[in-house]
Structure 1
Amino acid sequence: MIKYDPLWRTLKEKGISQYQLIKDYGIDKAQLQRLRQNLVVKTLILNRLCQILNCRIEEIMEYVPDDN
C-alpha cells in the first residue's frame, strides 16, 4: 500500500500549509483529500509537490506492505 504520511511531515518541516498548497500553488482540494485518504493520485500531482517542496519522492510517499 502506498501511504502519504511523509507528505504531511515534509509540509510541516518546510513550513507550508495545505491552505498554501491550494491558494498559492494551485493544488486541487480533491487531490489533497485523496492524499489524506491514501488513495490513487496522478503522478503529475506528485511531481508538482516535489517541485513545490524541493524534495524527493520518498519525502512525500512510502510503500508499506499489506498485512496479508
Structure 2
Amino acid sequence: MISYAPLWETMEKRGATTYTLQCKGGISSSTIRRLKANESVSTNTLDALCKILDCTLADIVTYLPDKE
C-alpha cells in the first residue's frame, strides 16, 4: 500500500497547508481528499507536490507492504 503520511510531515516542516497546495500548485480539494485517504493520484500530482514543497518523492510517499 502507498501511504502519503510523509507528505503531511513534510508539509508541517515547511509550514505548508492544504491551502498552500491549492493556491501554489493548483492541487484540487478532491485530490487532497484522495491523498488524505491514501488513494491513488497521478504522477503529475506527485510531481507538482515535489515542486511546491521543494522535496523528493521519498519526502511525500512511502510503501507499506500489505498485511496478509
TM-based fold match above 0.5: yes
Residue 23 of structure 2 is matched in structure 1 by: 23
Computed over aligned residues only, the root mean square deviation of the Cα atoms, in angstroms, reads: 0.8
Work out the CA distance in 2 between the residues paired with 1:30 and 1:51: 19
Paired residues in the alignment total 68
Residue 57 of structure 1 is matched in structure 2 by: 57
Unaligned 5+ segments in structure 2 are none
TM-score (norm 1): 0.95
Query: Which amino acid counterpart does residue 59 of structure 1 have in structure 2?
Result: D
Indicate the SS of the match to 1:35: helix
TM-score (norm 2): 0.95
Unaligned 5+ segments in structure 1 are none
Indicate the SS of the match to 2:39: coil
Percentage identity across paired residues of the two chains: 40
Q: Could you list the structure 1 runs, at least 4 aligned residues long, displaced by more than 3 angstroms after superposition.
A: none
